[in-house]
Chain A
Amino acid sequence: MSLDAKIPQGPLAEKWSKHKFNLKLVNPANKRKYDVIVVGTGLAGASAAASLAELGYNVKAFCFQDSPRRAHSIAAQGGINAAKNYQNDGDSVYRLFYDTIKGGDYRAREGNVYRLAEVSVNIIDQCVAQGVPFAREYGGLLDNRSFGGSQVSRTFYARGQTGQQLLLGAYSALNRQIHKGKVKMYTRSEMLDVVTVDGQAKGIITRNLVTGEIDTHTGHAVLLCTGGYGNVFYLSTNAIGSNVTAAWRAHKRGAFFANPCYTQIHPTCIPVTGDHQSKLTLMSESLRNDGRVWAPKTVETAEKLRKKEITAAQVAENDRDYFLERKYPSFGNLVPRDVASRNAKEMVDDGRGVGGSGFAVFLDFADAINRLGQEAVAAKYGNLFDMYYQITDEDPYKQPMRIYPAVHYTMGGLWVDYNLSTNVPGLYALGECNFSDHGANRLGASALMQGLADGYFVIPYTLGDYLASIGPKPVDANHPAFAKTKQDVVDRINSLLALKGTKTVNEYHRDLGHIMWEYCGMARTEEGLTKAKGLIQALRADFWKNALIVGAGDEVNASLERAGRVADFLELGELLVDDALMRKESCGGHFRLESQTEEGEALRNDDVFAFVGAWQYKGDNQPEELHKETLDFEFVHLTQRSYK
């Protein structure tokens, strides 16, 4: 099968306008004859569902939480980028485009990224019109902060709760359409399969998480807005429920999965304390605006700190290594995430890590507090400081935070073309669930931007083109594909419920996480990855023999829900490793020890690997087939990224 990204021809700045003009339209009276299924109501899903309903389509929206307001987007802290240039500091659509392509280590499509930068400005307007209370300056205009990988201030924020405020904005737009009857909302519902009829997506199968009922829903198109798969690592900054199930089941029905090995490890998270830990907590990147990252210069000092013989404050200025400022003078603490994470790991590997376990470096606010005063620092980051204090019992106003990298975001996801369509007609993927815009590394504050761009400003245009082409004939729910897919779902649930072994699902998940983090985390090698592949296969085989799942199918059953998700992670984990093995280069978040510059930076191999790797499912326990979408760079010149 050929992979056509459908990027419009012509100059960058005209691609999207021209494309919009060329797309077919559905006339207003016909829109209400179409049903659109939106799975997921985070930023991408809620914005898409609301916008499509406003246009007149009938929308059915689904989420597994008890309310759309609780999607994982709610947890985003730091901010959202937009090329508004309100600060007059030289920002432009082109600069945001350029920063994003470069930040992604030249592994994203130019056309997509330019469009993202272009619509970014509309997003801020939209959110403000909804009443999203962004931070403001005394003159009453919007305030900005800086984020990693850029030298301008283009990040809009709402204290440390930007995702919450943006999601509540999208949720309010969604609520308005629910009230009007244009969106039918299904909460506590988990999508477990996509139904395809003659190769086109025509519906989904869901499980009602309260009654256990398995339901069939028909639609002219299915939009997956189901978030990222970071929890394949068990410990991550994602919410406990975040999972790959919807995307993975779609993959098994034919949708290609692109670049699974592009995972983002965020440099500033609260370090792991013990085996009981169920998740990791992010300390927003925005903290690097004012916090300075350092480790002791010598192993001896680090040793004393670890044994608590001295405190951080007692380490003299001379004995501190502000390693990011030292190595990257022009970007300093605001280098992109992949670079910051690898450097923290280097410190730890060097024996200079701090905290009880030695797996941490410092993020220090003493300078900022001296310069700005505690109150000003609290106004910017108060909730983050409180959160840190709650978790660690240490007061970050008095001593530096201890931070360490943790899995945070997944750039890979379902392959989509410029229209956000997967290779299965009628099946779309939006937000973190797709692979589209961030290349091999996402810049901070760009995921919120992408989710809302997809939902508010891209899909409302591109979906119409497809719908117009298939026509408004109602979908036949009696087509045998529906009954067949439903039976597959029931069978799978029954085989999970039949597992009465000795090991809990949580233990399998934790074991998988250990394998992924150890061999497929911040530093990957041929040898380690090969080993991981074998370990995952063995773990998966063991799961299907020895897992213990309690309770029944026709009731609330968290054990069963978890089991289904972990079973999918056990399959995705292997594909992720395969992709990492295939990509014998380093780029962005994918770091192969075999491929680095003399200074230890990621070394790409553009001659061989300037492509999107899209994998096709070939049956249970069969190797997947790789399809390559070549990345053509017409407008930017590929260079070794430098943040020095």
Chain B
Amino acid sequence: MNLTLKVWRQKNANSSGKMVTYKAESISPDMSFLEMLDVVNESLTLKGDEPIHFDHDCREGICGMCSLYINGRPHGPKSAITTCQLHMRSFHDGETITIEPWRAGAFPVIKDLAVDRSAFDRIQQAGGYVSVNTGGVPDANIIPIPKVIADEAFNSATCIGCGACVAACKNASAMLFVSAKVSQLGMLPQGQPERWSRVQAMVAQMDAEGFGSCTNTGACEAECPKGITLINISRMNNDFFSAKLFREEKVHDHSGGSE
């Protein structure tokens, strides 16, 4: 198949970008979307031009590194998959495809289609853990956990940190991402001791990073490649308000102070 691509090109964070048009020729429908871009990049390289830069690594939908806003949708037209899992058979011959980076104030562009998502890491660093050191922990089977709870915690834990939820949201809110971790640990017995401080610390960091607020539009859920649901956001809101209203625990240095 032959396609026309309109691609966002931007040299670095400090320069302004623009859309540039390319032809993608002799593309096989069995190629993945990223393999199609590889083909375009090979031909750009051979002409001595700079290839289109995009983030990717595992190419099987699990590392969360790939991004791309394709024809106005994060991770492209199909639901429940990442860009690297999208195949060209989902497009038709002759189609024009627009490819842009994630757009959000908290995700500045690094180059072309790659953005800086380190804000996500900083939110996790603020409290996305159970404070246990290596060693000295009890036997794994000491605490039975009902299967339904374990399964539900697992569902929340499958978030790959890709940022599509932020890119999809008109407010660039990170609620879905943050709530996935808050929910996972909030549901498990291991997460109880720090449940109230964790949610406050993570939400505070989320706000500090400049993500927008949630207006319950649900675009995040619709575009999330891993099926993280809005229930996570409700759980987080519950915990957050419980923590604020009823628990007098302040947001202490969540990690347990300095060594």
Contact = CB atoms under 8 A, between A and B. Distances in A.
Interface of A: 32, 47, 50-51, 54, 56, 65-70, 72, 74-75, 84, 86, 122, 124-131, 133-142, 158-159, 161, 164-165, 168, 171-173, 175-176, 178-182, 185, 187, 210, 239-241, 273-274, 276-279, 281, 386-387, 390-391, 393, 456-457, 460, 500, 502, 504, 506-507, 548, 550-551, 555-556, 558-559
Interface in B122-136: 124-135
Interface string B181-197: 00011001011000000
A445 to B, nearest CB: 16
B104 to A, nearest CB: 15
A559 B45 contact: yes
A159 B46 CA distance: 43
A131 B191 contact: yes
B84 to A, nearest CB: 9
Contacts of B157: 133, 158, 165, 168
B129 A122 contact: no
A279 B259 contact: no
16 contacts: A65-B57, A66-B117, A70-B65, A72-B63, A74-B64, A140-B150, A158-B157, A161-B158, A172-B124, A172-B129, A175-B124, A276-B38, A281-B60, A457-B134, A506-B38, A555-B12
B52 to A, nearest CB: 10
Contacts of A558: 51, 53
A504 B59 contact: no
A129 B50 contact: no
Contacts of A179: 125-127, 254-255
Given A239-B59, A550-B49, A159 B154 contact: yes
Interface residues of B, number: 82
Given A75-B63, A134-B150, A281-B60, A142 B141 contact: yes
A-B pairs with lowest CB-CB distance, top 4 = A140-B144, A172-B129, A129-B137, A133-B154
Contact of B12 (A139, A165, A502, A556): A556
Given A130-B190, A172-B128, A182-B259, A240 B50 contact: no
Contacts of B65: 65-66, 70
Given A140-B145, A456-B135, 10 more contacts: A67-B121, A126-B134, A133-B184, A134-B150, A135-B150, A136-B144, A173-B132, A179-B125, A387-B85, A506-B42
Nearest to A128: B140
Interface in B47-103: 48-51, 53, 55-65, 80-81, 85, 87, 89
Interface of B: 11-12, 28, 30-32, 34-35, 38-39, 42, 45-46, 48-51, 53, 55-65, 80-81, 85, 87, 89, 110-111, 114, 116-118, 120-121, 124-135, 137-141, 143-147, 150-151, 153-154, 157-158, 160-161, 184-185, 188, 190-191, 254-256, 258-259
A241 B57 contact: yes
A404 B92 CA distance: 30
A550 B144 contact: no
B184 A75 contact: no
Contacts of A141: 141, 144
A277 B35 CA distance: 7
Nearest to A50: B134
Nearest to B63: A70
Nearest to B129: A172
Contacts of A66: 55, 65, 116-118
A129 B259 contact: no
Contacts of B151: 133, 136
Contacts of B191: 131
A548 B50 CA distance: 12
B122 to A, nearest CB: 9
B132 A130 contact: yes
A235 B87 CA distance: 18
B126 A555 contact: no
A59 B252 CA distance: 24
A54 B255 CA distance: 11
Secondary structure at chain B's binding surface: helix, strand, loop or mixed?
loop
Contacts of A507: 42
Contacts of B111: 555-556
A170 to B, nearest CB: 10
Contacts of B256: 180
Contacts of B87: 390-391, 393
Contact of B58 (A68, A72, A277): A72
A550 B51 contact: yes
B114 A276 contact: no
Contacts of B62: 74-75, 161, 164
B190 A131 contact: yes
Contacts of A387: 60-61, 85
Contacts of A74: 58, 62-64
A548 B61 CA distance: 30
Contact of B35 (A122, A278, A460, A548): A278
A532 B228 CA distance: 48
Contacts of A390: 61, 81, 85, 87
Contacts of A279: 59-60
A125 B117 contact: no
Contacts of B31: 274, 276
Contacts of B116: 66
B224 to A, nearest CB: 15
Contacts of B32: 278, 391
B44 to A, nearest CB: 8
A65 B57 CA distance: 8
A240 B57 contact: yes
Nearest to A182: B259
A40 B64 CA distance: 17
A462 B148 CA distance: 41
A634 B184 CA distance: 47
Given A128-B190, A171-B124, A175-B121, A180 B255 contact: yes
B77 to A, nearest CB: 13
A243 to B, nearest CB: 11
Nearest to A160: B62
A276 B126 CA distance: 42
A128 B80 CA distance: 28
A559 B138 CA distance: 48
B150 A129 contact: no
A176 B160 CA distance: 19
Contacts of B150: 133-136, 140
